[in-house]
Amino acid sequence: MNKEFKSDVSPCAVTEEELSLINKLTVKELTAEEVYTFNVILCDNEVDRDCERFDIAALEKLAELFVGVTGIFDHNPGSGNQTARIFEAKTEKIAGKITSCGDEYVCVKAKAYMPRTNKNADLITEIEAGIKKEVSVSCAVSKFTCSVCGENMRHGNCNHVKGKTYGNGMCHCILSDVTDAYEWSFVAIPAQVNAGVTKGYKKFESTENLIKSVKEGRCVKFTYEQAEELCDYITRLESEAQDGRLYRKALTDEAVKFALIAVPSLDNESVRKMCSSVETAELMKLRDAFKQKASEVIPLNPQLKAKKEKPIVNNNEYKF
Protein backbone atom coordinates (compact mmCIF):
# COMPACT_ATOMS: atom_id res chain seq x y z
CA MET A 1 0.00 0.00 0.00
CA ASN A 2 1.02 3.59 -0.53
CA LYS A 3 0.46 6.15 2.17
CA GLU A 4 0.69 9.83 1.52
CA PHE A 5 1.53 12.18 4.27
CA LYS A 6 2.11 15.93 4.57
CA SER A 7 5.60 16.03 5.89
CA ASP A 8 7.87 18.59 7.41
CA VAL A 9 11.14 18.63 5.59
CA SER A 10 13.93 20.52 7.26
CA PRO A 11 17.65 20.78 6.64
CA CYS A 12 20.01 19.50 9.28
CA ALA A 13 23.73 19.68 9.76
CA VAL A 14 25.60 16.44 9.56
CA THR A 15 27.49 15.25 12.62
CA GLU A 16 30.53 12.96 12.66
CA GLU A 17 28.39 10.13 13.93
CA GLU A 18 25.84 10.63 11.16
CA LEU A 19 28.55 10.81 8.54
CA SER A 20 29.75 7.37 9.60
CA LEU A 21 26.17 6.07 9.31
CA ILE A 22 25.96 7.55 5.79
CA ASN A 23 29.28 6.07 4.80
CA LYS A 24 28.02 2.63 5.76
CA LEU A 25 25.57 3.00 2.86
CA THR A 26 27.89 4.52 0.26
CA VAL A 27 30.38 2.94 -2.08
CA LYS A 28 32.77 5.90 -1.94
CA GLU A 29 33.54 7.55 1.40
CA LEU A 30 31.89 10.99 1.50
CA THR A 31 33.04 14.01 3.48
CA ALA A 32 30.74 16.33 5.42
CA GLU A 33 31.09 18.92 2.63
CA GLU A 34 29.95 16.45 -0.01
CA VAL A 35 26.64 15.50 1.57
CA TYR A 36 23.45 17.37 2.20
CA THR A 37 21.22 16.01 4.95
CA PHE A 38 17.64 16.74 5.88
CA ASN A 39 14.89 15.54 8.23
CA VAL A 40 11.74 14.08 6.80
CA ILE A 41 8.71 12.78 8.65
CA LEU A 42 7.54 9.65 6.86
CA CYS A 43 4.29 8.76 8.61
CA ASP A 44 2.53 8.95 11.98
CA ASN A 45 -0.23 7.39 14.05
CA GLU A 46 -2.90 9.92 13.06
CA VAL A 47 -5.96 8.64 11.17
CA ASP A 48 -5.35 9.54 7.52
CA ARG A 49 -7.76 10.51 4.76
CA ASP A 50 -8.28 6.82 3.93
CA CYS A 51 -9.51 6.39 7.51
CA GLU A 52 -6.52 4.27 8.35
CA ARG A 53 -3.72 4.62 10.87
CA PHE A 54 -0.60 2.75 11.82
CA ASP A 55 -0.23 1.43 15.34
CA ILE A 56 2.93 2.20 17.33
CA ALA A 57 4.55 -1.19 16.67
CA ALA A 58 3.98 -0.66 12.92
CA LEU A 59 5.68 2.73 13.10
CA GLU A 60 8.62 1.21 14.95
CA LYS A 61 8.93 -1.50 12.32
CA LEU A 62 8.72 1.08 9.52
CA ALA A 63 11.49 3.12 11.16
CA GLU A 64 13.65 0.00 11.22
CA LEU A 65 12.85 -1.02 7.64
CA PHE A 66 13.22 2.39 6.02
CA VAL A 67 16.91 2.77 6.90
CA GLY A 68 18.87 2.45 3.65
CA VAL A 69 15.77 2.91 1.48
CA THR A 70 16.05 5.33 -1.42
CA GLY A 71 13.56 8.10 -1.94
CA ILE A 72 12.67 9.73 -5.24
CA PHE A 73 11.45 13.21 -6.13
CA ASP A 74 8.29 12.83 -8.02
CA HIS A 75 7.38 16.45 -8.52
CA ASN A 76 10.48 17.71 -10.26
CA PRO A 77 10.45 17.31 -14.03
CA GLY A 78 13.44 15.38 -15.22
CA SER A 79 14.39 14.44 -11.70
CA GLY A 80 14.70 10.79 -12.48
CA ASN A 81 18.18 10.64 -11.06
CA GLN A 82 17.53 12.77 -8.02
CA THR A 83 17.50 10.50 -5.09
CA ALA A 84 18.05 10.70 -1.41
CA ARG A 85 18.61 7.88 0.97
CA ILE A 86 17.52 7.43 4.54
CA PHE A 87 20.43 6.75 6.87
CA GLU A 88 18.59 6.98 10.18
CA ALA A 89 14.94 6.65 11.21
CA LYS A 90 13.22 6.44 14.54
CA THR A 91 9.84 6.97 16.13
CA GLU A 92 9.37 10.22 17.98
CA LYS A 93 6.70 11.32 20.44
CA ILE A 94 5.69 14.95 20.22
CA ALA A 95 5.10 16.17 23.77
CA GLY A 96 1.57 17.40 24.37
CA LYS A 97 0.32 16.50 20.90
CA ILE A 98 -2.67 14.15 20.93
CA THR A 99 -4.14 12.35 17.92
CA SER A 100 -7.83 12.43 16.99
CA CYS A 101 -8.14 9.03 18.73
CA GLY A 102 -6.82 10.51 21.96
CA ASP A 103 -3.42 8.80 21.77
CA GLU A 104 -0.02 10.44 22.16
CA TYR A 105 1.15 11.58 18.74
CA VAL A 106 4.02 9.49 17.39
CA CYS A 107 5.73 9.86 14.02
CA VAL A 108 8.56 8.25 12.12
CA LYS A 109 11.27 10.83 11.79
CA ALA A 110 13.97 10.00 9.29
CA LYS A 111 17.21 11.60 8.24
CA ALA A 112 18.13 11.44 4.60
CA TYR A 113 21.19 12.43 2.65
CA MET A 114 22.01 13.25 -0.93
CA PRO A 115 25.21 14.27 -2.59
CA ARG A 116 25.75 18.01 -3.11
CA THR A 117 25.82 18.10 -6.89
CA ASN A 118 24.69 20.70 -9.45
CA LYS A 119 21.81 18.43 -10.31
CA ASN A 120 20.58 18.56 -6.70
CA ALA A 121 21.15 22.31 -6.21
CA ASP A 122 17.54 23.43 -6.87
CA LEU A 123 16.19 20.79 -4.60
CA ILE A 124 18.55 21.77 -1.84
CA THR A 125 17.46 25.42 -2.23
CA GLU A 126 13.84 24.32 -1.96
CA ILE A 127 14.48 22.35 1.20
CA GLU A 128 16.46 25.26 2.66
CA ALA A 129 13.46 27.48 2.00
CA GLY A 130 11.47 25.40 4.47
CA ILE A 131 9.04 23.75 2.13
CA LYS A 132 6.35 21.38 3.25
CA LYS A 133 5.94 18.39 1.07
CA GLU A 134 3.78 15.38 0.67
CA VAL A 135 5.66 12.18 1.26
CA SER A 136 4.40 8.93 -0.11
CA VAL A 137 5.59 5.76 1.58
CA SER A 138 5.08 2.39 0.04
CA CYS A 139 4.96 -0.55 2.40
CA ALA A 140 3.33 -3.92 3.00
CA VAL A 141 1.01 -4.46 5.95
CA SER A 142 -0.57 -7.76 6.89
CA LYS A 143 -3.05 -6.89 9.65
CA PHE A 144 -6.13 -4.68 9.26
CA THR A 145 -8.02 -4.26 12.51
CA CYS A 146 -11.39 -2.52 12.88
CA SER A 147 -11.31 0.24 15.47
CA VAL A 148 -14.92 -0.44 16.46
CA CYS A 149 -15.05 -4.22 16.97
CA GLY A 150 -11.39 -5.26 16.89
CA GLU A 151 -12.03 -7.84 14.15
CA ASN A 152 -9.94 -8.21 11.02
CA MET A 153 -11.52 -5.84 8.48
CA ARG A 154 -10.48 -8.04 5.58
CA HIS A 155 -11.47 -11.49 6.82
CA GLY A 156 -13.13 -11.16 10.17
CA ASN A 157 -16.81 -10.88 10.93
CA CYS A 158 -16.59 -7.09 10.78
CA ASN A 159 -19.22 -5.25 8.81
CA HIS A 160 -18.21 -1.75 9.85
CA VAL A 161 -17.47 0.83 7.20
CA LYS A 162 -14.39 3.05 7.44
CA GLY A 163 -15.33 6.69 7.95
CA LYS A 164 -18.79 5.95 9.37
CA THR A 165 -19.56 6.90 12.93
CA TYR A 166 -20.61 4.18 15.37
CA GLY A 167 -21.49 5.14 18.93
CA ASN A 168 -18.96 7.77 19.91
CA GLY A 169 -16.27 7.10 17.37
CA MET A 170 -15.58 7.00 13.67
CA CYS A 171 -14.61 3.61 12.31
CA HIS A 172 -11.08 3.42 11.02
CA CYS A 173 -8.68 0.66 10.16
CA ILE A 174 -5.61 0.05 12.34
CA LEU A 175 -2.69 -1.07 10.20
CA SER A 176 -0.18 -3.36 11.89
CA ASP A 177 2.29 -6.18 11.24
CA VAL A 178 4.37 -4.30 8.71
CA THR A 179 6.26 -6.80 6.57
CA ASP A 180 8.14 -4.58 4.14
CA ALA A 181 9.06 -1.01 3.29
CA TYR A 182 9.56 -0.56 -0.45
CA GLU A 183 10.19 3.10 -1.14
CA TRP A 184 9.40 6.66 -0.23
CA SER A 185 9.01 9.66 -2.46
CA PHE A 186 8.19 13.32 -2.47
CA VAL A 187 5.09 14.14 -4.44
CA ALA A 188 3.50 17.46 -5.26
CA ILE A 189 0.75 18.30 -2.77
CA PRO A 190 -2.51 17.64 -4.58
CA ALA A 191 -4.98 20.50 -4.75
CA GLN A 192 -7.77 18.24 -3.61
CA VAL A 193 -7.28 16.25 -0.48
CA ASN A 194 -7.89 12.93 -2.09
CA ALA A 195 -6.35 13.63 -5.46
CA GLY A 196 -3.37 11.61 -6.43
CA VAL A 197 -3.95 8.94 -3.84
CA THR A 198 -3.04 5.60 -5.19
CA LYS A 199 -3.69 2.48 -3.26
CA GLY A 200 -2.78 -0.90 -4.55
CA TYR A 201 -3.66 -3.82 -2.36
CA LYS A 202 -1.79 -6.91 -3.23
CA LYS A 203 -3.85 -9.94 -4.04
CA PHE A 204 -3.01 -11.83 -0.93
CA GLU A 205 -5.65 -14.53 -0.82
CA SER A 206 -6.35 -17.32 -3.23
CA THR A 207 -9.90 -17.96 -4.43
CA GLU A 208 -9.79 -21.28 -2.53
CA ASN A 209 -8.99 -19.49 0.73
CA LEU A 210 -11.75 -16.93 0.16
CA ILE A 211 -14.28 -19.70 -0.51
CA LYS A 212 -13.07 -21.51 2.62
CA SER A 213 -13.67 -18.32 4.63
CA VAL A 214 -17.19 -17.99 3.17
CA LYS A 215 -17.93 -21.65 4.03
CA GLU A 216 -16.76 -21.07 7.59
CA GLY A 217 -19.31 -18.28 7.83
CA ARG A 218 -16.76 -15.49 8.06
CA CYS A 219 -17.26 -12.08 6.54
CA VAL A 220 -15.05 -11.67 3.48
CA LYS A 221 -14.24 -8.57 1.50
CA PHE A 222 -13.20 -8.97 -2.11
CA THR A 223 -11.04 -6.78 -4.26
CA TYR A 224 -12.35 -6.14 -7.78
CA GLU A 225 -9.89 -8.71 -9.18
CA GLN A 226 -10.86 -11.30 -6.60
CA ALA A 227 -14.56 -10.78 -7.38
CA GLU A 228 -13.84 -11.25 -11.09
CA GLU A 229 -11.88 -14.40 -10.41
CA LEU A 230 -14.69 -15.75 -8.27
CA CYS A 231 -17.24 -15.02 -11.04
CA ASP A 232 -15.09 -16.97 -13.52
CA TYR A 233 -14.87 -19.82 -11.05
CA ILE A 234 -18.67 -19.85 -10.58
CA THR A 235 -19.20 -19.85 -14.38
CA ARG A 236 -16.86 -22.85 -14.66
CA LEU A 237 -18.75 -24.65 -11.89
CA GLU A 238 -22.10 -23.91 -13.57
CA SER A 239 -20.87 -25.43 -16.80
CA GLU A 240 -19.58 -28.52 -14.97
CA ALA A 241 -22.85 -28.76 -13.07
CA GLN A 242 -24.79 -28.73 -16.37
CA ASP A 243 -22.62 -31.62 -17.63
CA GLY A 244 -23.29 -33.40 -14.36
CA ARG A 245 -27.06 -32.96 -14.68
CA LEU A 246 -27.03 -34.35 -18.25
CA TYR A 247 -25.00 -37.38 -17.14
CA ARG A 248 -27.27 -37.96 -14.15
CA LYS A 249 -30.37 -37.87 -16.36
CA ALA A 250 -28.88 -40.41 -18.80
CA LEU A 251 -27.88 -42.63 -15.87
CA THR A 252 -31.37 -42.46 -14.34
CA ASP A 253 -33.00 -43.34 -17.70
CA GLU A 254 -30.74 -46.38 -18.00
CA ALA A 255 -31.31 -47.50 -14.41
CA VAL A 256 -35.09 -47.19 -14.85
CA LYS A 257 -35.03 -49.13 -18.13
CA PHE A 258 -33.09 -52.04 -16.60
CA ALA A 259 -35.10 -51.96 -13.38
CA LEU A 260 -38.40 -52.32 -15.28
CA ILE A 261 -37.00 -55.21 -17.31
CA ALA A 262 -35.54 -56.89 -14.24
CA VAL A 263 -38.57 -56.42 -12.01
CA PRO A 264 -41.68 -55.89 -14.18
CA SER A 265 -43.87 -55.33 -11.11
CA LEU A 266 -42.11 -52.00 -10.47
CA ASP A 267 -43.50 -48.83 -11.97
CA ASN A 268 -41.59 -46.10 -13.74
CA GLU A 269 -42.50 -43.36 -11.27
CA SER A 270 -41.44 -45.18 -8.13
CA VAL A 271 -38.14 -46.28 -9.68
CA ARG A 272 -37.40 -42.66 -10.73
CA LYS A 273 -38.23 -41.49 -7.24
CA MET A 274 -35.88 -44.04 -5.78
CA CYS A 275 -33.11 -43.07 -8.23
CA SER A 276 -33.45 -39.40 -7.39
CA SER A 277 -32.81 -40.04 -3.71
CA VAL A 278 -29.37 -41.61 -4.07
CA GLU A 279 -25.93 -40.19 -4.78
CA THR A 280 -24.60 -40.54 -8.31
CA ALA A 281 -22.05 -43.20 -7.30
CA GLU A 282 -24.88 -45.25 -5.71
CA LEU A 283 -27.03 -44.73 -8.78
CA MET A 284 -24.26 -46.18 -10.94
CA LYS A 285 -24.14 -49.29 -8.72
CA LEU A 286 -27.92 -49.56 -8.89
CA ARG A 287 -27.88 -49.25 -12.67
CA ASP A 288 -25.21 -51.98 -12.92
CA ALA A 289 -27.15 -54.27 -10.60
CA PHE A 290 -30.40 -53.82 -12.54
CA LYS A 291 -28.54 -54.28 -15.79
CA GLN A 292 -27.08 -57.55 -14.52
CA LYS A 293 -30.49 -58.72 -13.38
CA ALA A 294 -32.17 -57.55 -16.59
CA SER A 295 -29.67 -59.51 -18.67
CA GLU A 296 -30.78 -62.65 -16.86
CA VAL A 297 -34.37 -61.94 -17.84
CA ILE A 298 -33.79 -60.83 -21.43
CA PRO A 299 -30.37 -61.21 -23.06
CA LEU A 300 -29.21 -57.65 -23.59
CA ASN A 301 -26.44 -58.56 -26.05
CA PRO A 302 -27.09 -60.70 -29.10
CA GLN A 303 -25.93 -64.20 -28.29
CA LEU A 304 -23.66 -65.40 -31.02
CA LYS A 305 -22.64 -68.52 -29.19
CA ALA A 306 -24.21 -70.64 -26.56
CA LYS A 307 -23.66 -69.32 -23.06
CA LYS A 308 -22.90 -71.48 -20.13
CA GLU A 309 -25.82 -72.01 -17.82
CA LYS A 310 -25.45 -69.61 -14.93
CA PRO A 311 -26.13 -70.71 -11.39
CA ILE A 312 -29.28 -69.28 -9.90
CA VAL A 313 -28.32 -66.43 -7.63
CA ASN A 314 -30.11 -65.24 -4.60
CA ASN A 315 -31.73 -61.95 -5.67
CA ASN A 316 -33.01 -60.82 -2.30
CA GLU A 317 -30.97 -57.67 -2.33
CA TYR A 318 -32.80 -56.42 -5.42
CA LYS A 319 -36.27 -57.05 -4.09
CA PHE A 320 -38.45 -54.15 -3.21
Provide the H-helix boundaries in 108-206.
Answer: 121-128
Q: What does the per-residue mask of binding to Zn ion show for 130-159, with x meaning CB under 5 A?
A: ----------------x-xx--------x-
| In the complex, minimum distance from the CB of residue 54 to Zn ion, in angstroms, rounded to a whole number | 18
In the list 160, 162, 221, 248, the residue contacting Zn ion (rule: CB under 5 A) is 160
Which of 86, 146 has the CB closer to Zn ion?
146
**CB under 8 Å, gap of 24 or more: what pairs does 179-183 form?**
179/140, 179/141, 179/142, 180/65, 180/139, 180/140, 181/62, 181/65, 181/66, 181/69, 181/137, 181/138, 181/139, 181/140, 182/69, 182/138, 182/139, 182/140, 183/69, 183/70, 183/71, 183/72, 183/137, 183/138
Interface with Zn ion includes 162 (CB under 5 A)? Answer: no
Q: What does the per-residue mask of binding to Zn ion show for 70-89, with x meaning CB under 5 A?
A: --------------------
Question: Running DSSP on this structure, what letter comes out for residue 118?
Answer: G
Distances from the Cα of 238 to the Cα of 149, 226, 242, angstroms: 37, 18, 6
Radius of gyration over alpha carbons of the chain, in Å?
35
SS3 of residue 234 by DSSP: helix
Q: How many residues bind Zn ion (CB under 5 A)?
A: 5
| In the complex, minimum distance from the CB of residue 151 to Zn ion, in angstroms, rounded to a whole number | 5
| In the complex, minimum distance from the CB of residue 171 to Zn ion, in angstroms, rounded to a whole number | 7
| In the complex, minimum distance from the CB of residue 149 to Zn ion, in angstroms, rounded to a whole number | 3
| In the complex, minimum distance from the CB of residue 289 to Zn ion, in angstroms, rounded to a whole number | 56
Interface with Zn ion includes 173 (CB under 5 A)? Answer: no
Restricting to residues 205-224, name those near Zn ion by CB under 5 A: none
Q: Which residues in this chain contact Zn ion in the complex, by CB under 5 A? A: 146, 148-149, 158, 160
